[in-house]
Every structure is written in structure tokens, then in C-alpha cells.
Structure 1
Amino acid sequence: MTTFALLSIAGASIAALLLLIIRFEIHAFVALMLVSLLVALATGIPLAEIIPTLISGMGGTLGSVAILVALGAMLGRMIEVSGGANTLAQRFSQLLGPKRVPAALTAAALVLSIPVFFDVGFIILIPIIYGFCKAAGVSPIKYGLPVAGIMLATHVVVPPHPGIVGGAAVLSADVGWITLIGLGICIPLAFVAQWVGGYLNRRHYAMQPEAEAQFRNFGSGDAADAPAAKLPGVGAVLTLILAPLALIMLGTTAATMLPKGDALRDFLAFTGAPVFALMVAIGLAFVLLVRPLGWTRKRTNEVMESALPAAATVILVTGAGGVFAKVLTVSGIGTALSQALSGTGLPLILLGFVISLALRAAQGSATVAILTTCGLLAESIQSGGYSAVQVAVLTVAIGFGGLGLSHVNDSGFWIVTRYLGLSVADGLRSWTVLTTVLGVVGFALTCLVWALVA
């Protein structure tokens, strides 16, 4: 089959995928599986090999993604239910002072969002945002925009979040390097989110009636008279979040600095594996959260299991994205695209960002945008002779493409606008602008890293 035909099929498959998800509102998992099957048939993959190819794509992606997503969701849920999120935000506020509350919340959001999915993390922080805003006499939009912005930035480029982890699996990228690079860029992005949020808030946004009533009545019930639970200390929460990151970073550092076959390198590689690191964090949660709070085994199991339904959907969509990527590779579309790109003169890092951004704008899901882009560019990246660090940088660039242009087809858009009381028009003027600026700035910082390692 000619290169033109293969690329035409690729273009048609993406258009069909977007049409199914946007126009006909088909679930992303079903749409990805259906389009993958049609691509396999259209490109002439032998019938006897189609189903094994689909299974291989699903299994290959989920082998590294499912455990990470499940453990990350459980850890985040335990921190949420224990009250650790509230403790963390309050402590940051006390350390920085009342006038720096917006910065304190943004800093807390950055730390909290590492193990917690964006929508869950934002909902966790809404009561804290409401409380601080009501005390300061300002709209929750003022504090909420930068908090949501940095949480979404972390969601698209820092493991164990599903899009970037799935993309790493597709590209065989090192999760440790992605963690170092992604988190390192998100730290200055927190300052950008704070500044851009402040700039956008120079405009007055009228709160929608339902959100305004909810904000006005916040704290007026009898909850304040209820006995307070024994909340975990800030040190315990930070330990749960930083311990797995430290293990992963040690493993990555050892793999870079120590020779192959070294016993210490092998040990740190084992303890620095993301799955093992998150298992350690879960074990620490039993000591630092469960025991002090006096949770029974039944209660602990209920908390952990409550994290799985949402995680299951994420896992399935991520796996289906892996299936689509596998079919694109086996069909020869990846090779054809690689050949076509070699004559365009566009830098691969820019191409990855632009494709991911376009897919994000078209179908709403950052996870699907990242996975689809990684599938399209896998052949080009894997055959380009890039180092492990360079592949990680390219993966992060694709991740930042999935950050921008959040609008009405994105569930996160509705979560943010609903809780902050923004109309659709004001949401486009504020939230959409903020996510796009953060995506572009994040990509620019990624290009600086690329210049250092290229």
C-alpha cells in the first residue's frame, strides 16, 4: 500500500474517531476499539492477526498503566478522605501568611495533584477555596483559576497520571525521566498560573445563580459544631506524596550514573520502579493515615475501593488508546508517517505538540490526545536514535499539547466552570485562555530542556 493511501487512512481514522466521540457521543473506549478494528481491516492486516494485534496493544499498554493508575487513585483517595488535603492547604497558608493565600493554594495544588486525578483533586480543594475566598471577601474565581490550571498541568505531564504514563508505554520512554522533567517544568508553571490567573481576574466575572447561592451559604450549616476528626499532619501527607517520587528519582539517577551489573543499581532500579514506589506509599498510608485515624479494616477497604470505579474507566480508555497505537504501528501507518515527516522539515518536538494540541481541541480528552499522538509518532521517535532523556522530553512535549484549549467538549471545563460559577462564555475567556497559555509556556520550557540534551 502506498504512503499516500496509508496516510489517508490515518487521517480518516482520526476524523472518524473524533466524529464518533464528539458528534455521536460514543464512549471513548468503544470509539477507539471500533476505529482500531476498521483501520486494521482497511490497511490489509491479515484477518488471523487482527484480534491478536488488538489484544497485544491492550495488554502491552495496561501492563504498565493499570497498576499505576489503580494504586495512584487509591493513594489519592486515602489522602482525600483522611482530611490530609485540607491539612496541607491550611499549613501552606499559615506558613506564607494571609496575603499569600492564592500562592499557598496553588503550591498545595501542585503537590496534591501529583498522585490525585485532576477532577478529584479540584473537587477536594473546592471547600478550601470557598473558605479562604469567603474570609477574604473575594470571588472563588480569583483563587480557583490558578489552582485548577496547575493541577491540570501536572495531570498531563507527571506520572502516575494515565495519559503521560500511557504515552510513555507507547514510546518505551523512561517514566523516571518523565517525572523529573515534567515535575521540574510544572514548578515554574505554578508561578505562571498564578500570574496569568491574576491578570484574567482583572475582569469581573458574574457568578451563576446556583454557584453563587452555594458560595453564599458555605459554612452556614451546623457542620462547624460537629467534633473535628483527628487529621493527619502536613508531614505525613508530604511523606506519602514525596516518598514514591524520591524512590523513582533515585532509581533513574542510579541507572544513569552506575554501570550495568552493579548491585546497587539493580536494587535502586527495583525500588525505583513506579509500581513498587506506589506500593510503598500505600503501605506508608496504613501507618500514617489509617492507624492514627482508627479506621477499621472494613472502612479502609471501602475508602480504597471507592477509588476504583473512576480509575477503571480511565484504565479502559488508556488501554484502548494503546490498541489504536498498536494498529497504527503494525499497519505500517507509523512508518509511512515517519517517511512523510522526514521531508517536511518540521522539528519532531514541535510536530508532537501541535498534533496533540489539535486532538485535544477536537475531542476534549487530554489522555486520548496524548495517546493518539504518541501512536502516530512512535515509529519516528523509536527509529530516530534518540537517547532515553530525549525520548522523555519528546513525551513531555506531547503531554503539554494535551493541556491547552480546554473548552466545552472537555469534562474538566464543566467541573471548573460549575464550581467557580462561570458561564460558558466567561469560561472560554478565562479557563480556556489559562490552559492554552500554560500549555504553550510548558512547551517552551520543554524546548529549553531539549536544547540542553539534544
Structure 2
Amino acid sequence: MLTAVLTAIPAATGDPIVPTTQLDVGVLLGIAAAGIALLLFLIIWLKIQAFVALLIVSILVALSAQLSLTDVFTVVATGVGSTMGKVALLIALGAILGRIIEVSGGVQSLADHFTSLLGPRRVAVALTIVGFLVAIPVFFEVGVIVLVPIVYAFSKAAGLHPIKFGLPMAGIMLAIHVSVPPHPGIVAGAGVFGADIGLVTMISLLVCIPLGFLSYAVARIMNRRDYELIPSVAAQLEEFGSSSTIIESRRGGVVVAPPRAGTISIIIALPIVQILIGTVGALVLPEGSFGQQLAVFIGSPVLALLVAVLVGYGVLGLRRGWSLDQGNGVFEGALPSIASILLVVAAGGVFGEVLRATGIGAALSTALDQLGLPLIVLAFVITLALRAAQGSATVAIVTTASLLSSAVVEGGYTPLQIAILTVAVGFGSLGLSMVTDAGFWTVVRYYGLTVADGLRTWTVLTTILGVAGFLLCYAAWTVVSAAGL
């Protein structure tokens, strides 16, 4: 029976990889558990780069499960191709758009606008709003670093610790980074699960709005106590300045003012609106009609991000006096930072394909069904555990999606359920940001916290936001499942 199930699972190319073994479910699950343990050992203790570690573990799992030697690297190639074909362009275009906004001075413009609008007594509120908007196109660590001069300026003027202004802002920024496309982890998870990017975007943004309020409220409670300011940051506060990455725009030899906040907001919203229009059109228009096909084309995430990049480059770059060399430098400067991310995503795709081809995915699906717990709960718990163990949100999301992809395929879930599940996995990678996470050290370093204070504030805040995000997803999952949507 097991062999019949396993051989029916197609590889991503459409051709089934037939297992060459009669291993029972218990052995297959043991191999999967040993693979995860080895992955964590390689990443945490041996400090091996996640891409290399995932690739090593994938090959060893394939061999341990007695996959035919002639099929091992066919499966590797299939995993790379199927995953990268879905996510590489999205991640690259998203990084370019974020870079254009960053170096044009758009982040500073947003911060100035909302601070002026809300007044000096609501600086933390203004920065939380800015963080929400900036985090959609800009990577978390980049966003924190770019906004540091603004946080320092208000901190110095008010005579307060930078964490007073930066904590709620950073909290919602990380929530968006792990759950809203085009960020790499959630895009990769959607690709592995086969989730609709438009639905994922719609759900994640709806969930992140109340999380923004929650981040501000929780941070405000935490900030009632005083925290030690490490000496290096205390010294930096005396000499803070604008980000050195901003390109000075000139037209006719005259320095051009920074772009307006409204312009930046429109450019950030443009791909989101385009994707959502396409998603809604594809759902409500007649099946197979020209209107539906046009909606699918217009709402393609790749096209939406490409349009946003072109508009951003034209409005924020060329119209404001960038030379072609400067523009090319912006494009090229966005790509090195995502190279390692793309490799991790590719290796995660290999791991997922190995699990499918060896039948481990089907065995895991059977075991999960016997537990009687909703798949969404297991997905969140597994992602949270992986996040805490090795730190990378992207690795946690990709690994969980790879482990559970067979369960999703065989579960007969609707597109809306799969999208909600994907977002829940994203929020699983939000909690327990601590010493294993590069983002933890970014916050601790730039906001001048001790490690102990970072654990008291940042780790607790991210865990509260992660659990809250999951609970909202679980509520949506319950309603959708009951309604049969």
C-alpha cells in the first residue's frame, strides 16, 4: 500500500520518481528526524552556511531512504528548478524596488512626513507607521539600519534610549518581513505549498495591521522601565547623521528635494494593488474568459513588481537626475545581498523534492493525520521550533514547507486554506528571535541594548507578535474550513 502511494506522488517535472525501497513508515520518519537533527547540528554547531548544510542533508536523506543512485541528482536538479522558477524573479525584483526607495531618500521622507503629521508627542506611533510601509519592499535588517539615524535623532532630542522609539517600529517590520511578499521566506513557502501569492499578500497584510497596533502597545508597556545604553551607541548618538547610501539627486546642477511621502507610498502600494486586482478578477470573472486571463496577467506578481521597479526607477531616479551609471549601480547593489538567500531557497527546494521522491513526505503526512491536530497548528509549532533552533526565518519557513508539502497536496485543501496556512508558517518564523538570529543582533547592536535586555524586550515582543499572528490565522482557518471556502 505504501509503495503504491509513494509512486503516485509526481516529481515537480511531472515524471514520478519511483522509490527503490520498501522501508516502512517508522524508518522513513526516523530518517526525516535524523536529517533535521543533522541540519541543525551543521548550521548551529559547525557554522556551515545554510545552503551547503541543506544540500548535504538532502543528499544524505536521499541515500539513507535508498533512493536510486541514478535518481539522486535528478531529484536535486528538479528541486532547484521547480523552486527557483517560482521565486527567484520575485525576490530579485523585490530587492531592487527596496533598494531604489532606500537610496532615493524615500525612507527619510516617510519618517519626516508622518512625524510632522502626528506631532512630536507621537513619534513612536509615526515611526511604527513608517516601519510598516518601509518593511513591505525593504529587507528587515536594511530597514532597521536605514531608519537608525532617524531613531537616533529623536532619541537624542528627547534624551531617551533609542529602544523607546525603535522597538515598536522594528517589531512590525519583522512581522511584515516574515509574512508579506515579496520577502524571500514567505515567497519560498508559497512556492513550495503552491499557494496563490495574491491571497497570501491579502491575508498577511490584513493580519499585520492589528499587529502594528499590538507592537506599539506591547512596546509601550516594555518601555516603562529604563534600559542600559551600551557605550558604543551612546557615542554614536552624539554624532548621528543621514544614511550614507542616499544618492544626492540633481537636476540642472541644482540639488532636488527628497521625494514626497505620498509618492513613496504610491510606489509601495502599486504592486500590492496590482496583485490584489488580479487575484480578485481571477476569482470573480468567468472561467476561461478573456477578462479572467487579462486579470491573471495583470495580477502576476512578477509583472506587478516589474512595473513597480520601472515606475520607481523613473520617478525616483531618472526624473530626479540620476545618471545611468548611478541607476545601474542601484540595480546591481540590490543583488549581492540576496545571493545567499536565493541559494538557501534553492537548497530548500531540493530538500522538499527529496522528501517527496523518497516517500518521507507521504509518511510524515500519514503520521500527522494520526495525531488528530489541525495541520496549521503543527505547521506553526514546527516553524517556531526551527526558527528558535537555527535563527533564519527563511530556512525555518522553507524547511517546514518542504516537510508538510505532501500533507497539503493530499489533504485536498482549498486555495484560501493553503494561503492561510502559508501565512501561519510565516508567523511561526517570527517568534523567539534570539541569539541564533541575525535580526536579534541587528536590533541589539543598533539600539544599544545589552544581550539580556534584548532577550527581555525584542525576543518577548517578537514571540507575542508571532503567536498573535498565528491566532488570527487560526481563526481565519476555522471560519474558512467551516464555510467550505
What secondary structure, in the 3-state scheme, does the structure 2 residue paired with 1:306 have?
helix
1:117 to 118, 126, 139: 139
In the alignment, structure 1 residue 163 sits paired with structure 2 residue 185:
yes
TM-score (norm 2): 0.91
2: CA distance between counterparts of 1:21 and 1:28? 6
C-alpha contact 2:175 2:430 (8 A) present in aligned 1: yes
> Aligned ranges for residues 251-262 of structure 1 at < 5 Å?
251-262=278-289
What secondary structure, in the 3-state scheme, does the structure 2 residue paired with 1:130 have?
helix
2:27 paired residue number: 5
Encode CA deviations 1:107-149: one digit per residue, 9 max, x unaligned: 1111111111111111111111111222222111011111111
2: CA distance between counterparts of 1:446 and 1:143? 28
> Aligned ranges for residues 111-260 of structure 1 at < 5 Å?
111-219=133-241, 229-260=256-287
2: CA distance between counterparts of 1:286 and 1:122? 23
In the alignment, structure 1 residue 279 sits paired with structure 2 residue 301:
no
Aligned residue type for 2:452: A
2: CA distance between counterparts of 1:453 and 1:99? 41
Unmatched runs of 5 consecutive residues or more in structure 1: 221-225
> Aligned ranges for residues 102-113 of structure 1 at < 5 Å?
102-113=124-135
1:330 to 354, 357, 371: 357
2:12 paired residue number: none
Deviation at 1:217, TM superposition (A): 2.5
2: CA distance between counterparts of 1:162 and 1:187? 20
Aligned residue type for 2:322: W
Encode CA deviations 1:189-234: one digit per residue, 9 max, x unaligned: 00000011111112211011101111133259xxxxx997521111
2: CA distance between counterparts of 1:219 and 1:83? 13
Unmatched runs of 5 consecutive residues or more in structure 2: 1-22, 243-247, 249-253
1:86 paired residue number: 108
Deviation at 1:167, TM superposition (A): 0.6
Aligned residue type for 1:432: T
1:223 paired residue number: none
2: CA distance between counterparts of 1:217 and 1:126? 12
1:62 paired residue number: 84
2: CA distance between counterparts of 1:211 and 1:228? 32
Deviation at 1:89, TM superposition (A): 1.3
1: CA distance between counterparts of 2:37 and 2:279? 38
2:391 to 357, 360, 364: 364
1:435 to 428, 449, 462: 462
2:41 paired residue number: 19
- Percentage of pairs with the same residue: 53
1: CA distance between counterparts of 2:289 and 2:129? 38
Encode CA deviations 1:146-192: one digit per residue, 9 max, x unaligned: 11111110011100011111011111011110000001100110000
2: CA distance between counterparts of 1:263 and 1:452? 32
What secondary structure, in the 3-state scheme, does the structure 2 residue paired with 1:247 have?
helix
1:50 to 54, 64, 72: 72
1:33 paired residue number: 55
In the alignment, structure 1 residue 389 sits paired with structure 2 residue 416:
yes
2:400 to 365, 373, 386: 373
1:318 to 317, 321, 345: 345
2: CA distance between counterparts of 1:392 and 1:404? 20
Aligned-residue Cα RMSD (Å) equals 1.3
2: CA distance between counterparts of 1:262 and 1:452? 30
2: CA distance between counterparts of 1:339 and 1:219? 57
2:13 paired residue number: none
What secondary structure, in the 3-state scheme, does the structure 2 residue paired with 1:25 have?
coil
2: CA distance between counterparts of 1:451 and 1:255? 24
1: CA distance between counterparts of 2:83 and 2:133? 27
